[in-house]
Amino acid sequence: MKTSKYNLFIPYEGEDFILYNVLNRSVLLIGKELKQALEEDNIARIPQELRLMAYKNGALVDDDTDELQIVKVQYWEEKFSYDHLQFIILPTYACNLRCIYCYQRSAPHLKGTMNDKTCEQVVKFIIKETHGRRPNSVGIGFFGGEPLTVETKVFQIWDSVLERLPSKVEKDVGIITNATLITEETIKRIERLKCSGAQVRIFTTLAGERKLHDSRRIDAKGRGTYDRVLNAVRMLSNTATPVSIRIDLDNSTIDCIDRLIADLEENGLRESVMIRLGKINLEFCLSEFHPQGIASLDSLSPIAEVADRFAQRGFVVMEIEPFKPIPNWCSQQTAYTYTIDPEGDLYSCYDALIYPEHKIGSIDEDGNAKFNTQYYKWYSRDPFVIKECRECKLLPICLGGCAFLAWSKHQTFDAPGCYEGFKELIKRSVKRQVIYGMMDEKAKLRLAHHEDQEQCMDCTTE
């Protein structure tokens, strides 16, 4: 028996630590003596009962276990699994806002709206992929631009897909919107979507508290949009439609985050929204795009601090999911996710849309995908040939990081796509979810199992 190479030790309370096994997504609360024994790979010092517990949770493994091989198999199985299919559709590049940091503003060639012919090609493509791959679930996300500038087209596409999907397939619909165009009629259409059996979630964005948001996310007349967004979120929450609010973070946002938290509480949204946190990414923009007033984060560590502040006030916040058993950094690095632009061209990732050379194919008139060489470059990315990734403790959850970030930094996919501070983000996220009980049932049982033990290593070794 030997120590897992994927153990992380996270300070908890006093001399206790959270032992988080990255490969198994498991946690145990341990004392400093057990921590030291595991770090030194001194198995003989560990009492039999604790040794068995650590073994069951993956912190100890058999001598002949090659954990890297396990990660490889899980990675490739998931990358080319078709249990779930996901289609991100951009029905238009048009937008009613003029957000100062929007990466699409750095690419003026992104124009146009999907015509009826292309809409039908996209619908055929989705149906052919579904019947051919036979997934258990299908997810469709509408993005832009602002998809609700062509609201009728959005719901027409969904209706056309719905009437041709097999009834037994689970259906998920997400609308990524700035929320300023949501009306009572939009709400009624969303309710009809729910009645069709689809799970519906709305994703929107705030750029900080009112003053900061209104200086950054403005409409075509230069007016702020903060109140319109909150009004839409309140309307949606009244219908029990799940809403996820992404908070775009830079140094200025973090400085005023407490005012935003207080405002969301005053609007009665603590129980009805999920908070997601993300740094404002200028890495993906064309090099000549430098929006004024944006102080980009150099590390992900401040995101963890903001997440803690939201969680302390009772919000559900998920900036990363350390207990999710899916071995992939991003679904857009899997072969079951497609991003479709208004011309019917295919991309692996919506962040790549501003670079035409990253198109991986297109949809023909019959709804068939015609892939090009970029498709094979993207999906053959192998984090296990990247030395830094292969030797990293975070490999099972990071898996090479963001492929497009790797390309943006190094002009190749065969390089780490890591954000500074990712390890700290993982540690803080694990600790927060242990403290606030946002673990899955399996992780909770593992934690409870340890708490029920009458003996600890510190006692038995004295």
pLDDT of residue 109: 84
CA dist 310 and 259 (Å) reads 11
Q: Among 277, 307, 340, identify where a domain stops.
A: 340
pLDDT tens for each residue of 195-216: 888 999 999 999 999 999 999 9
In this prediction, residue 353 carries a pLDDT of 92
Identify whether the C-beta of residue 28 lies closer than 8 Å to the C-beta of residue 46.
Answer: no
Q: Is residue 410 situated within a structural domain? A: no
Residue 146 has pLDDT above 60, yes or no: yes
Share of the chain above pLDDT 70, in %: 90
Together in a domain, 59 and 93: no
Contacting residues for 420 by C-beta, under 8 A, at least 6 apart: 298, 299, 300, 301
Residue 149 in this model has a pLDDT that exceeds 70: yes
With respect to residue 12, please indicate whether it lies within any of the assigned structural domains. yes
For residues 15 and 99, membership in a common domain is answered with no
78/76 Cα distance (integer angstroms): 5
Q: How far apart are CA 118 and CA 106, in angstroms?
A: 25
* Same domain (yes/no): 257, 139: yes
Domain for residue 210, yes or no?
Answer: yes
What mean pLDDT is predicted for residues 436-453? 49
Number of Cβ atoms within 10 Å of the Cβ of 291: 17
Q: Any idea which of 116-120, 261-265, 451-455 has the lowest mean pLDDT? A: 451-455
* Burial (CB count <10 Å: 0-12, 13-18, 19+), residue 143: buried
22 pLDDT more than 70: yes
With 0.75 as the threshold, say if the pTM is over it. Answer: yes
Percentage of the chain modeled with pLDDT above 90: 71
443 pLDDT above the threshold of 80? no
462 pLDDT more than 60: no
Q: What pLDDT shows up at residue 206?
A: 98
Mind listing the pLDDT tens digit for each residue in 108-121?
889 999 999 999 99
End of a domain among 300, 321, 340?
A: 340
Is 61 found in the same domain as 86?
no
Per-residue pLDDT reduced to its tens digit, 364-377:
999 999 999 999 99
Give the lowest-confidence range in 17-31, 223-237, 313-327, 390-404.
Answer: 313-327
Q: Are residues 292 and 146 in the same domain?
A: yes
* 448 located within any domain: yes
pLDDT of residue 317: 87
Asked if the model's pLDDT at residue 50 lies above 80, the reply is yes
Asked if residue 297 is part of any domain, the answer here is yes
Give the pLDDT band of residue 289 (cuts 50, 70, 90): low
Residues 101, 187, single domain; the answer is yes
pLDDT tens sequence across 216-256? 999 999 999 999 999 999 999 999 999 999 999 999 999 89
Domain residue limits at 23: 2-65+441-460
pLDDT at 454: 38
The mean of the pLDDT values for the chain is 89
Angle between helices 184-195 and 226-238 (to 10 degrees): 40
> Which CATH number goes with the domain that contains 231?
3.20.20.70
Question: Is 71 among the domain residues?
Answer: no
Indicate whether 159 and 299 sit together in one domain.
yes
Q: In terms of domains, do 252 and 309 share one?
A: yes
